[in-house]
């Protein structure tokens, strides 16, 4: 089984038989969240210009080497994990819409899609490697990422088995900025029942027949 746990914002740990992956480690000083001490084989960074997504220095190596850090588009294979990174539109920065990387990666036969702080629907080229992933991590909080309605449309583009919402309703430290959309709004727009749990365990031969929303508690 592959275990998935949530650290908050858009940061998860995916632990397979041999390799473990962490997505978008954040700066605890900027978010009202505590990033834990942890280790990984691979770190996926969707936005290498944003401290809410790029704090890979906090991750200890798993084993003698690593962690291997991906920060942009490309194809990679590390510790048996196949990764495809594709450039996509992120939030709006000082120079306009930022370029981020969305990822498709495979762990122990299970295909994952990680959308970081994606802010717009995917083009056909961006969609191609993500189509039909088994597990999709999708931002739903709006403002600097997808709002609930657009998140639902992206989900329909990809057609995953498991849908894990992220990047919602979080305060941003001293500035007091808060994501304007809530998890509840996304669940209402999506129109499906959800399961709430601290950990999701998945395997290729035990995927649900119908799409299932799983809310992970950090």
Q: How confident is the model at residue 173 (pLDDT cuts 50, 70, 90)?
A: very low
The per-residue pLDDT for range 82-139, each reduced to its tens digit, is: 999 999 987 665 544 578 999 999 999 999 999 998 988 899 999 999 999 999 999 9
Q: Check whether 174 has a pLDDT greater than 60.
A: no
Ordered by start, the domain boundaries in the chain are 2-216
Per the rule left: phi > 0, alpha: psi between -120 and 50, beta: everything else, 96 is left
pLDDT band at residue 50 using 50, 70 and 90 as cut-offs? confident
Residues 143, 119: contact at Cβ < 8 Å? no
Q: What is the pTM of this model?
A: 0.90
- Could you give the C-alpha distances from 168 to 34, 127, 186, 207, 215, in angstroms and in order? 16, 23, 9, 26, 11
Q: Where are the beta strands (DSSP E) in the chain?
A: 2-8, 11-15, 20-23, 38-40, 42-44, 59-61, 68-70, 74-78, 81-93, 96-107, 110-114, 135-139, 162-166, 171-172, 177-178, 194-197, 199-202, 212-216
Per-residue pLDDT tens digits for 58-77 = 887 776 667 899 989 999 99
Options 3.60.15.10, 3.40.50.261, 3.30.420.40, 1.10.150.530; CATH for 2-216 is: 3.60.15.10
Lowest mean pLDDT among 22-26, 82-86, 88-92, 177-181: 177-181
- Cα–Cα dist 4/143, whole Å: 26
- Give the per-residue pLDDT at 176: 47
Tell which wins on pLDDT, 54 or 81.
81
pLDDT of 12 strictly over 50:
yes
Q: Which residue carries 């942890």 as its tokens?
A: 38
pLDDT value for 143: 74
Mean pLDDT value across the chain: 86
User: Measured between alpha carbons, how far is residue 213 from residues 8, 12, 59, 108, 193 in Å?
Assistant: 17, 16, 28, 21, 7
Give residue 202's pLDDT. 97
């Amino acid at each position: 089984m592959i275990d998935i746990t949530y650290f908050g914002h858009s940061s998860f740990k995916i632990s397979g038989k041999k390799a473990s992956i962490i997505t978008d480690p954040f700066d605890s000083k900027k978010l009202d969240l505590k990033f834990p001490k942890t280790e990984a084989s691979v770190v996926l960074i969707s936005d290498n210009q944003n401290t809410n997504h790029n704090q890979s220095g906090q991750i200890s190596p798993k084993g003698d080497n690593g962690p291997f850090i991906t920060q942009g588009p490309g194809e990679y294979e590390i510790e048996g994990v196949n990764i495809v990174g594709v450039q996509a539109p992120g939030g709006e920065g000082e120079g306009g819409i930022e370029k981020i990387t969305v990822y498709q990666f495979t762990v122990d036969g299970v295909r994952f899609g990680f959308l970081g702080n994606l802010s717009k629907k995917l083009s056909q080229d961006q969609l191609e490697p993500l189509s039909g992933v088994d597990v999709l991590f999708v931002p739903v909080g709006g403002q600097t990422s997808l709002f609930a309605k657009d998140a639902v449309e992206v989900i329909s583009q990809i057609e995953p088995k498991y849908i894990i919402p992220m990047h919602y309703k979080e305060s941003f430290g001293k500035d007091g900025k808060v994501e304007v959309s809530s998890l509840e709004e996304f669940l209402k727009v999506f129109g499906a029942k959800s399961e709430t749990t601290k950990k999701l365990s998945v395997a290729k031969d035990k995927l649900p027949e119908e799409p299932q929303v799983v809310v992970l508690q950090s």
